[in-house]
Amino acid sequence: MSLSAEPIVSINEVTKDYHLGKVVVPALRGVTLQVHPGEFISIAGPSGSGKTTLLNLIGCVDTATSGVVRVAGKDTKQLSERKLTDLRLHTIGFIFQSFNLVSVLSVFQNVEFPLLLQKKLNASQRRERVMALLEQVGLANHAKHRPNELSGGQRQRVAVARALVTQPQIVLADEPTANLDSVTGQQIIDLMKAMNRERGTTFIFSTHDAKVMTHANAVVRLADGKVLDRVTPAEAGVALAAGGH
Amino acid sequence: MLQILLIAFRNLLAHRRRTLLLGGAIAGVTAVLIVLMSVTNGMKATMLESATTLMSGHVNVGGFYKVTAGQSAPVVTGYPKLIETLKKELPELDYVSQRGRGWAKLISDTSSVHVGISGIDVEGEPGFRKIIQVREGRLDDLNQPGTILIFEEQAKKLEVRVGDTMTISAPTIRGTNNTLDVRVVAIAANVGMMSSWNTFVPSKSLRDLYQLKDDTTGAVYLYLKDMKDIPAVQQRLREKLAEAGYTLMDNDPRAFWMKFEVVNRESWTGQKLDITNWEDEISFVRWVVQALSFLTGFLGFVLLVIIAVGIMNTLWIAIRERTREIGTLRAIGMQRRRVLVMFLTEALMLSLTATLTGAAFASALCLFINAQEVRAPEVVQVMLLTENWFLKVEPGSVTLAVTLITLCAMVVSLIPSFLAARMKPVTAMHHIG
């Protein structure tokens, strides 16, 4: 895969502290990372290592305590709440560990929702786009179902479709396979991988599952809020087998 | 927007029990408020109609006639000419009637009572027939001279029935007492406190009693097409009657019978006209109406507070339950304003549906009660000036209740909705609960 020189995500010396009462808990301690368009990157690390925090900062749903986070060329700290929301809507897609679908909407409506927020397409264009994606994730026959009528794997596929429907430059997935069995998890990763390959969408996903990591182009390993290294999946697998992070 | 409506609608459906409970409460409060307002409106309307038919016009041209400085009588001389002038000057006029005014002792074989006596031409007063419900006898017989209409309460006190004869004994302007024998031709259903102190005799009989000329009366009652014109009509009447050569008393917003003392102290003699309105003549109606309005307002306020607390509490719970959903929607690109709109839409949908349901139920209930002719307790009858409850459902009141409660629901929903919209997506998404 040929990667463009300009990174789509650029994180420079970023720290993030959480305040629990009077106690300051550092979640990220000077993280620097660059992700290029089209990459399929896994962020690995044990619980509490800062994976979710890092994804939240890249996803513009949270702000860094210090340092610079640039997404699609924009310094997120300089953007207003409204602009950050727009950036999320037009540039980023989210896949959550617990699927986070709107329970009262059908599969079709869940996937269509970001398009409605964008207000770019008319009804027939939206329908065409949504149905094409549902076809791709194998849920075209379940378009009218509600999320509670689907299995975990099916719900996550809906979430993948929802994340991709706006054709974002980046898709962030926080432990997308954690709540799924291994076979279904594998299917979701395959699906993400296919989308990455076909559309050139950048995927950044967190996981601590070694099998999942093997699909990534690169694995960014985090520990105690710091980037340990950026390695190949094979190297990450060796390290895990050796009992490291 | 359609999607937001859909989310709101489906969320309400998804939490059926909560929706039904809160919606039921809102509908109930709306219904109670509308019924209360209908009772008040009905009482106002009934009291006003009864009182302005039996005891006063919308505007009255009464007056006092003084033969000597210290003696006055509630008499208007040359009333046909006066009515002509009034009709010419008042395009707002619906119709005119005239009533003789007197105060006398009504004596039966076994008892006596002091009562006000009104001289009436019953043929010329269609409104009178509408208000008076004759229990015994015939109203038309009141055309005949030497007859009287009394109320059930008086009939009971005096122990008389239709056909019995009584004597009216009235003090005259010259200090003597005149008497007149009258036959009871009609006994009417009580009309509240009116039943204690009012009786009706033909105008001619009243004039005979007081030995007055045919062109005299007690007061000319003016009924307007629109009661809103009362102040303007009063003002214009003062000017026009003065221009026409009538002498007018200074404006004194009190009932005519409260003015004798003042008038008797004044040194003038002859005729002076006095212009009053229904509120001056029957101020108790105004007090009762004000008290009723205050009571309705107070109860309405209490109900609104209750419903406001309920809505706010329910919305807090809903938002708490849906915090993660809010976080997700914010994360995928929903602006804060839309989150606010989403929750407000839900509140609007619930409150509007509930208030409309409550309004429909209350209106139907009021119509049902009216159709059943439910008898009001006696203490209420005293104020109502009629026997049965009348619940007047006014479109304005219904709209007010629906708008007020819906607005109240929206206002209290603003706080939790605003806080939901202000939530950071990351905080909302990781909310547990």
Per-residue pLDDT of chain B (433 residues; tens, 9 = 90+): 777 787 788 878 777 888 888 889 889 989 988 998 888 888 878 777 777 878 889 999 998 998 888 888 899 999 999 999 999 989 999 989 999 999 899 999 999 999 999 999 988 887 888 888 899 999 999 999 999 999 998 999 999 999 999 999 998 767 788 999 999 999 998 877 777 788 999 999 999 998 889 999 999 999 999 989 999 999 999 999 999 999 999 988 888 888 888 898 999 999 999 999 988 887 777 787 788 888 888 888 888 888 788 878 877 787 788 888 888 889 889 999 988 888 888 888 989 999 999 999 999 999 999 898 888 887 777 666 667 788 889 999 899 999 988 988 888 888 888 887 888 888 777 655 4
By Cβ distance, the residue of A85, A89, A104 closest to B7 is A104
Same-domain check for residues B68 and B113? yes
Note the pLDDT tens digit of each residue in A8-50: 999 999 999 988 888 999 999 999 999 999 999 999 988 888 9
| Per-residue confidence band for A245, with pLDDT thresholds at 50, 70 and 90 | very low
By Cβ distance, the residue of A85, A104, A166 closest to B10 is A104
B15 in contact with A, Cβ within 8 Å: no
| Per-residue confidence band for A169, with pLDDT thresholds at 50, 70 and 90 | very high
Tokens of B352: 């509007």
Q: For residue B431, what pLDDT is reported?
A: 58
Q: Which residues of B touch A105 (CB under 8 A)?
A: 3, 6-7, 10
Same-domain check for residues B78 and B168? yes
Chain B nearest C-alpha distance from A82 (Å): 7
Domain boundary among B279, B295, B322: B279
Which residue, among A102, A112, A164, A166, would best test binding to B if mutated, counting the most B CBs under 10 Å from its CB?
A102
Same-domain check for residues B161 and B253? yes
- Cα(A30)–Cα(B324) distance, integer angstroms: 29
CB neighbours of residue B244 within 10 Å: 13
Look at chain B and report how many structural domains it folds into: 2
B324 in contact with A, Cβ within 8 Å: yes
Domain boundary among B233, B258, B279: B279
Tokens of B299: 């109860």
Across the A:B interface, residue pairs with CB atoms under 8 Å apart total 71
Kindly tell me if the per-residue pLDDT of A151 is higher than 60: yes
B425 in contact with A, Cβ within 8 Å: yes
Q: Which residues of B touch A169 (CB under 8 A)?
A: none
B432 in contact with A, Cβ within 8 Å: no
Q: Is the ipTM of this complex over 0.90?
A: no
By Cβ distance, the residue of B14, B328, B333 closest to A85 is B333
Q: Which residues of A touch B426 (CB under 8 A)?
A: 56, 61-62
Whether B7 sits inside 8 A of A102 (CB atoms) is yes
Q: What's the mean pLDDT when you consider all of chain A? A: 88
Q: For residue A176, what pLDDT is reported?
A: 85
Same-domain check for residues B179 and B44? no
CB neighbours of residue A241 within 10 Å: 9
Whether A104 sits inside 8 A of B13 (CB atoms) is yes
Which residue, among A103, A104, A107, A113, would best test binding to B if mutated, counting the most B CBs under 10 Å from its CB?
A104
Q: For residue B18, what pLDDT is reported?
A: 81
- Cα(B54)–Cα(B129) distance, integer angstroms: 10
Q: Which residues of A touch B433 (CB under 8 A)?
A: none
By Cβ distance, the residue of B7, B332, B426 closest to A62 is B426
Chain B nearest C-alpha distance from A5 (Å): 28
**Which residues span the domain enclosing B230?**
58-279
Residues 6+ apart with CB under 8 A from B182: B146, B147, B148, B165, B166, B167, B168, B201, B205
| Per-residue confidence band for A5, with pLDDT thresholds at 50, 70 and 90 | low
Same-domain check for residues B363 and B271? no
Using alpha carbons, select from B281, B299, B287 the residue that is nearest to residue B382.
Answer: B287
Which residue, among B321, B332, B336, would best test binding to A if mutated, counting the most A CBs under 10 Å from its CB?
B332
Q: For residue B183, what pLDDT is reported?
A: 96
Same-domain check for residues B272 and B294? no
B18 in contact with A, Cβ within 8 Å: no
Note the pLDDT tens digit of each residue in A42-80: 999 888 889 989 999 999 988 899 999 999 999 999 999
Whether B332 sits inside 8 A of A117 (CB atoms) is yes
Same-domain check for residues B263 and B355? no
Same-domain check for residues B151 and B257? yes
Same-domain check for residues B188 and B313? no
Per-position DSSP letters for B373-398, written without gaps between them: TPBPPHHHHHHHTSSB------HHHH
Same-domain check for residues B129 and B267? yes
Same-domain check for residues B22 and B63? no
Residues 6+ apart with CB under 8 A from B255: B276, B280, B281, B282, B283
By Cβ distance, the residue of A82, A94, A103 closest to B331 is A94
Q: Which residues of A touch B425 (CB under 8 A)?
A: 61-62
Q: What is the pTM of this model?
A: 0.70
Q: Which residues of A touch B334 (CB under 8 A)?
A: 85, 117
Same-domain check for residues B356 and B237? no
Cα maximum dimension of chain A: 54
Question: B95 vs A171, B59, B91, B139, B335, CA distance in Å?
Answer: 82, 11, 10, 21, 64
Domain boundary among B279, B300, B330: B279
Q: For residue A237, what pLDDT is reported?
A: 65
The owner of tokens 């690995």 is A44
Q: For residue B384, what pLDDT is reported?
A: 65
| Per-residue confidence band for A240, with pLDDT thresholds at 50, 70 and 90 | low
By Cβ distance, the residue of B330, B332, B424 closest to A114 is B332
Whether A89 sits inside 8 A of B332 (CB atoms) is yes
